[in-house]
Amino acid sequence: MSASDSPAFADPAGTWNRRFAADGYLFGTAPNAWLAGHAAVWQTGQRVLCVADGEGRNSVWLARRGLRVDAFDISDVGVTKARRLAVEQGVAVNFTVSDCDTYAWSPGAYDGVAAIFVQFADPALRTRMFAKIVGCLKPGGTLVLQGYTPKQLEYRTGGPPHVSHLYTEAMLREAFAELDVVELREYEAELAEGSGHCGRSALIGLVARRR
């Protein structure tokens, strides 16, 4: 079966709207640990874009740290919950409902991009999305990215069931050749990010800076 044969990939907005329609937050309300561990690369008042931010756990947490945050996601149900989370936590985030390809990316506008578990993208979409991510960073701006490696297919504790969507160090190094790699690491950890990412996980984290 190819990635596009799967209903989850044929109708991403419908699929994610159904997943986010349940009570609670599928990935919790705490930030992703790789992001939280590396967010010190950004200073108060700097501008950060959260790609495919889902129910808002990462964008809201970054806004609480004093960053100016834009965020988008294809799921209007997810963005509605993200807006609610921002209100509850007393912060402003500029949310947009949009898919990756039609989002109004602002070239050279951001001090940072957070791309946390954006592995909905097949190789063609990933190439377009990564180019937009690089292009929207200012010189000196920093990308913080988290994903799963192919070993995650053995754990099945989160992420897409397609090896072509998963990342290796070599692949990320090549994909972000225009950036200087600050840290790139494959590792394993127990995730407890809601019910969506839960249990032993084969992860990869990247921090990389635009020249």
Ligand X SMILES: C[S@@+](CC[C@H](N)C(=O)[O-])C[C@H]1O[C@@H](n2cnc3c(N)ncnc32)[C@H](O)[C@@H]1O
Q: Does 147 bind ligand X (CB under 6 A)?
A: no
Q: Does 152 bind ligand X (CB under 6 A)?
A: no
Shortest distance in whole angstroms from residue 211 CB to ligand X: 26
Q: Does 54 bind ligand X (CB under 6 A)?
A: yes
Q: Does 58 bind ligand X (CB under 6 A)?
A: yes
Q: Does 120 bind ligand X (CB under 6 A)?
A: yes
Distance CA 105, CA 102 (A): 8
Shortest distance in whole angstroms from residue 170 CB to ligand X: 23
Phi and psi for 85 in degrees, rounded to 5?
-60, -40
Contacts of 110 (CB under 8 A, 6+ apart): 47, 48, 49, 70, 136, 137, 138, 141
> DSSP 3-state assignment of 83?
helix
Nearest by Cα to 184 from 165, 167, 199, 201: 167
Distance CA 166, CA 3 (A): 12
Quote the Cα angle for 193-105-11, to 5°.
55
Nearest by Cα to 147 from 165, 125, 129, 170: 165
Residue with the closest Cβ to ligand X? 54
Q: What are 58's two structure tokens?
A: 């990462």
Judged by CB under 6 A, how many residues of this single chain contact ligand X?
18
Residue 2 or 177: which CB sits closer to ligand X?
Answer: 2
Q: Does 167 bind ligand X (CB under 6 A)?
A: no
Residue 4 or 180: which CB sits closer to ligand X?
Answer: 4
Residue 156 or 180: which CB sits closer to ligand X?
Answer: 156
**Choice from 34, 42, 78, 148 touching ligand X (CB under 6 A):** 78
Only segment of 49-57, 130-138, 170-178, 202-210 that touches ligand X (CB under 6 A): 49-57
Q: What are 6's two structure tokens?
A: 């799967």
Q: Does 149 bind ligand X (CB under 6 A)?
A: no
Distance CA 154, CA 47 (A): 37
Q: Does 112 bind ligand X (CB under 6 A)?
A: no
Residue 123 or 180: which CB sits closer to ligand X?
Answer: 123
Distance CA 133, CA 113 (A): 7
Tell me if 184 sits within 8 A of 119, measured CB to CB.
no
Which residues ranging from 79 to 108 are in contact with ligand X (CB under 6 A)? 99-100
Q: Does 73 bind ligand X (CB under 6 A)?
A: yes
For binding to ligand X (CB under 6 A), which residues are involved? Answer: 12, 16, 27, 32, 52-54, 57-58, 73-75, 78, 99-100, 116-117, 120
